[in-house]
């Protein structure tokens, strides 16, 4: 809802529409929120894009090589969608609690689950959840882990873009106080201060920039023929972008006093991504391209 602060522009209500549930209990309703729609749009668009990649065997071999098939079938992608959805939601919620609300585990354990309706998701937790989903899907369906992770890296920025735009619409996760010409006031800010619209910065870097780079690598340079390369590009660019954005985002209030103002939780969590991403890029470029996949491309 719009708060008391007079924002730079009229923010949309975080609830898109409500479905009355009076038949269950008087006064109950199911609220459809922008953040939920961002997750749904990211997952569905990502699912269809990965299906499209699976149906293009030529992308999985170096230029000039003859494709024999795809590394996974449409049925494999459908199965992955289910587990990725569970991973991103479960991991995102648990990551938020572990990284940012640790005390809640002991003080109000039921809120860890029930409080999800109030918001509170962490990208790094969702990333871990999706990584676990990728690992077990690859193992269960006998897929190459890096190849399916590389396909996921192509589409992940779509969800990130929608998620950051939902943060902006909701007037949450705003930036630090600033006097730049495009600084904004956010309706839910108790200080009602002019701030960096850091949600838009992150949508541009984590969403648009990564999408463009990874997709150029995929379609122009056949990066899918080098397992781990797309995953490395995604992790490295996201880690660097997030670390930079933490300098303009409102800092974490729960960090130790000695570290506050110098380092944030987002920076700490992004460092392993930068290291892992750099290692994967080096590994993928050093090794020979993968042999041609053999699964049916149009299964």
Q: Which residue has the higher pLDDT, 109 or 130?
A: 130
Residues 71/74/78/81 CA torsion (nearest 10 deg): 50
Tokens matching residue 163: 């998620």
Average per-residue pLDDT for the chain: 86
Tokens matching residue 4: 């008391």
In the predicted structure, residue 169 carries a pLDDT above the cut 70: yes
Q: In this structure, what are the phi and psi dihedrals at residue 34, rounded to the nearest 5 degrees?
A: -60, -40
Q: Is residue 192 part of a domain?
A: yes
What is the percentage of the chain residues whose pLDDT exceeds 90? 55
Q: Is residue 8 part of a domain?
A: no
Structurally, the chain folds into a number of domains equal to 1
Q: What is the mean pLDDT of residues 6-15?
A: 65
How many degrees, rounded to 5, is the angle at CA 125 between CA 207 and CA 274?
Answer: 60
Q: Is residue 70 part of a domain?
A: yes
- DSSP E strands in 103-261: the ranges are none
Q: Radius of gyration of the chain from Cα atoms?
A: 21
Q: Is residue 276 part of a domain?
A: yes
Q: Is residue 19 part of a domain?
A: yes
pLDDT of 52-67, one tens digit each?
A: 999 999 999 988 888 8
Please give the Cα distance from 80 to 55 (Å, whole number).
Answer: 16
Total length of the chain: 299
Q: Say what the pLDDT of residue 299 is.
A: 46
When pLDDT is cut at 50, 70 and 90, the band that residue 283 belongs to is very high
Give the number of other CB atoms < 10 A from CB of residue 58: 16
Q: Is residue 1 part of a domain?
A: no
Q: Say what the pLDDT of residue 63 is.
A: 84
In the predicted structure, residue 201 carries a pLDDT above the cut 70: yes
Q: What is the mean pLDDT of residues 154-172?
A: 93
When pLDDT is cut at 50, 70 and 90, the band that residue 30 belongs to is low
The pTM (predicted TM-score) of the whole model is 0.88
In the predicted structure, residue 153 carries a pLDDT above the cut 80: yes
In sequence order, what DSSP letters do the residues of 148-174 get, joined into one string?
HHHHHHHHHHHHHHHHHHHHHHHT-S-
Q: Which domain holds residue 110?
A: 15-286
Q: Is residue 10 part of a domain?
A: no
In the predicted structure, residue 1 carries a pLDDT above the cut 50: no
Q: Is residue 240 part of a domain?
A: yes
When pLDDT is cut at 50, 70 and 90, the band that residue 2 belongs to is very low
């Amino acid at each position: 809802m719009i708060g008391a602060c007079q924002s730079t522009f009229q923010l949309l209500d975080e609830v898109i529409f409500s479905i009355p549930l009076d038949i269950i209990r008087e006064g109950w309703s199911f609220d459809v929120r922008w953040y939920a729609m961002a997750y749904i749009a990211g997952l569905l668009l990502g699912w269809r894009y990965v299906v499209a990649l699976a149906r293009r065997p030529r992308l999985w071999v170096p230029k000039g090589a003859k494709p024999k098939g795809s590394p996974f079938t449409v049925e494999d992608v459908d199965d992955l969608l289910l587990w990725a959805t569970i991973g991103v939601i479960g991991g995102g919620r648990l990551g938020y609690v572990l990284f940012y609300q640790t005390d809640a585990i002991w003080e109000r354990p039921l809120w860890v689950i029930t409080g999800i309706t109030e918001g509170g998701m962490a990208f790094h937790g969702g990333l871990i959840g999706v990584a676990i989903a990728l690992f077990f899907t690859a193992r269960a369906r006998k897929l190459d882990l890096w190849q399916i992770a590389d396909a996921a890296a192509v589409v992940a920025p779509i969800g990130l873009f929608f998620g950051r735009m939902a943060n902006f619409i909701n007037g949450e996760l705003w930036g630090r106080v600033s006097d730049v010409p495009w600084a904004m006031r956010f309706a839910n800010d108790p200080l009602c201060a002019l701030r960096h619209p850091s949600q838009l910065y992150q949508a541009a870097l984590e969403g648009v920039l990564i999408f463009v780079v990874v997709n150029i690598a995929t379609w122009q340079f056949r990066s899918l023929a080098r397992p781990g390369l797309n995953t490395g590009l995604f992790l490295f660019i996201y880690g660097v972008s997030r670390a930079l954005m933490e300098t303009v985002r409102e800092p974490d209030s729960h960090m130790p006093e000695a570290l506050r103002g110098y380092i944030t939780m987002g920076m700490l969590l992004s460092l392993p991504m930068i290291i892992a991403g750099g290692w994967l890029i080096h590994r993928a470029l050093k090794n020979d391209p993968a042999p041609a996949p053999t699964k049916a491309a149009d299964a």
